[in-house]
Structure 1
C-alpha cells in the first residue's frame, strides 16, 4: 500500500457550519475526517500534517513556499501528496507550485470542497477519496481534483461559486476522468532527476483589467519604479482601447521606458490571445507588449512572479514567459 501525505491548509473543507455561516475549525477537522471517511485507510497509508489553517483568500507566496518546503522535506518518504485547500485561490497555489517544484516525479493533488465536510450534502468526501486515489497513481505533476475530474493545476481556473463542478480547464483536456474507473487521459513529465525546490516568487507584478471608459489618468499614479511586470487582462484575443483620450498606448510606452514587462492575457476563458489578429493587438506589440497565449490569469501571474524572482534580465523573463515550462501554455 502506497504512503500518501495529506497536507491541510484550511479552506471550506476544514470548516464547520456554525450559526449563519461557516468557520475554520482546526481543532476538530482530523476527527471529522476519519469519522466521515473511515475507509480512507483502504486506499493508502495516510499521514496528515496540519501545515496551516487559513481561508484561501488570505494565502500568498509565503504559504506557497511553506507547501513546497513541506513536500521537499517529505518527498522521499511518500509516493504522493494531497493538499486540502480553499477553492478561491486553489488555482493560484497549484500554478505556483507547478513552477516551484521542478523535476516532479510524483503526484501533488490539490482538492477541497464547496461545503464543509461536516455538512450532510458536502462534496468533501467524494473529492478527498478521489484525490487520495489519484495520488497513488502515476501522475508526475501538480493537479486539481474536483467533481470527478483531475485537471492540470496551471491550466485550471475556478468557474463556479455555487456548483459542485467548481473548476474547469478551458484550454487543456483533463488529466483524468473519474467514473466507476479512473481513466488516465494525459501522463506527462517535466524534467528528470532530483527534485528541485525553486519556490520563490516576487510581488512586483500588477494586474490591470481593462473595461470600457477606463480612464488612463488613473494609471499615472501607478509606481512603475516599484513594478517589474504588468499583466493586462484584455478583451477577446488581446484588444483594448487605442483611440482618443482613453487609449492605453501611452501607458504601454511608460512601461516600456521603465523596463516593465507588459503581458496580455484574455478576459475570456477559452482560446488564445493573438496580438497579430487585430489592430489593437498589433499596436500592443509595437509598443512592447507580449502575449500570454492561452494561459489562465492564475498561471500567467504566478509564472511572472516566479520568473521575476529568478531572473533580473527583462529579455530573459519575456522569453521564458512565452515558452511552456511545465505545460501551462500551448506552444504554436
Structure 2
C-alpha cells in the first residue's frame, strides 16, 4: 500500500461487539461490558497529540466474548456496516472485536462486503483497556490513525502497528502483542473477471451451514459421514501437505462422492502454515479430486470458511458455488 494514496477517513463508525478490549471484572471473570464509548472518548481526549478522524459509536447487541461469535452475528455486522456507510454516510468503519475469532470474522466480512467502496478495519486487544500493560488503546488509536491516513476499500486487520490482510492471516499466539500472523500460503487462483450481483455487499444474505474437519491418522468414513450428514451445505476439509488424505480407504472416498452427489461442496485446504493445496501432485490428492473435492489453493481455514458462507449465503446454485470457490474474489488466492 502506498501511504496516503487513498482518501483520508472523515467520518468513522465504530462498531463495538464486546471482546477483551472493553471487558471488566465480574463474579465469574472478565466479561463484556457496556459503557466503552465514554471510556474511549475520555482516553482520546487525554491524548491531544493523537490526531484521529471524527467518529461516532454504535454498541452492538448483544455484546459478546468472541468465543461466542456465530454466522448469525456476522449478518448483524454486515447489516451494521451497510447502514453506517449507505444510510448514515460514514466513509469507513472500525470494528472492535475479541481476538479469539477476529480472523474468522474479518475473513468472513471480506466476502460479505464485496464491492463496498469503504475501508473496514478490525482490531481488538489481548488485555482489557485500563489494566497494566494493556494493548487496547494503542490498537484502537492506531487503527483510527491508519484510517485517518487513508486505507484502500475492503477489510483490514490492524494490530500493534501492523495492517494485515484478513484472508491470509490467523491467530497464532494466545499471549503477547503480536497474536496475528500472515500465513505464507501458496497455490494461486485465477482472478474472477466478474462477480454475480448476488455477491454485492448491499444484497441481502442468507445463513449458510458450513463445517470444518481436519484429517488425522485413523479418520474413517464414519467420522466423515457424521459431519456430512449433519445438514451442512459445505465442508472445509483440512488435508495433509499439498492436499492429501486417506485415498486407500474406499469407504472414505465413497462418503465424499455421496456428499458431492447430494450437493455438499467440499473444499480442501492444507493443515500446513505455509504452502497450499495442489490436488494433482500426489495420487492421494488426485483421488480426492476424482470424488469431487475442490482445491482451496492457498486459502487459510478462516478464508475458506468465510468464502463458503459468502457464496452459499448469496443463494447461488451449487454449480456456481463450485466454480467460484477456485477463483480469486478478493485476494484470498493470491
What TM-score do you get using the length of structure 2 for normalisation?
A: 0.85
**3-state DSSP class of the match of 1:116?**
coil
**3-state DSSP class of the match of 1:295?**
coil
1:50 corresponds to which of 59, 74, 77:
59
CA distance in 2, matches of 1:115, 1:201: 34
2:223 corresponds to which of 215, 218, 222:
218
Q: Are the aligned partners of 1:236 and 1:266 in contact in 2 as well (CA < 8 Å)?
A: yes
What is residue 157 of structure 1 aligned with on the other side? Answer: 170
Unaligned runs of 5+ in 1: 174-189
Mapping of residues 119-138 of structure 1, within 5 Å: 119-136=131-148, 137-138=150-151
CA distance in 2, matches of 1:149, 1:172: 19
1:93 corresponds to which of 98, 105, 109:
105
Structure 1 112/249 Cα, relative in aligned 2: closer, same or farther at 3 Å?
same
1:314 corresponds to which of 296, 315, 318:
318
Q: Which structure ranks higher in relative contact order (CA pairs < 8 Å, sequence separation ≥ 6)? A: 2
What are the superposed Cα offsets for residues 234-269 of structure 1, whole Å, 9 maximum, x if unpaired? Answer: 111111122258x62122122123232111011112
What is residue 83 of structure 2 aligned with on the other side? Answer: 73
Unaligned runs of 5+ in 2: 1-8, 187-193
Q: Are the aligned partners of 1:33 and 1:117 in contact in 2 as well (CA < 8 Å)?
A: no
CA distance in 2, matches of 1:75, 1:8: 16
1:167 aligns with 2:180: yes
Q: Are the aligned partners of 1:79 and 1:135 in contact in 2 as well (CA < 8 Å)?
A: no
**3-state DSSP class of the match of 2:85?**
coil
CA distance in 2, matches of 1:263, 1:31: 45
Q: Are the aligned partners of 1:81 and 1:107 in contact in 2 as well (CA < 8 Å)?
A: yes
RMSD over aligned CA atoms reads 2.5
Q: Are the aligned partners of 1:224 and 1:258 in contact in 2 as well (CA < 8 Å)?
A: no
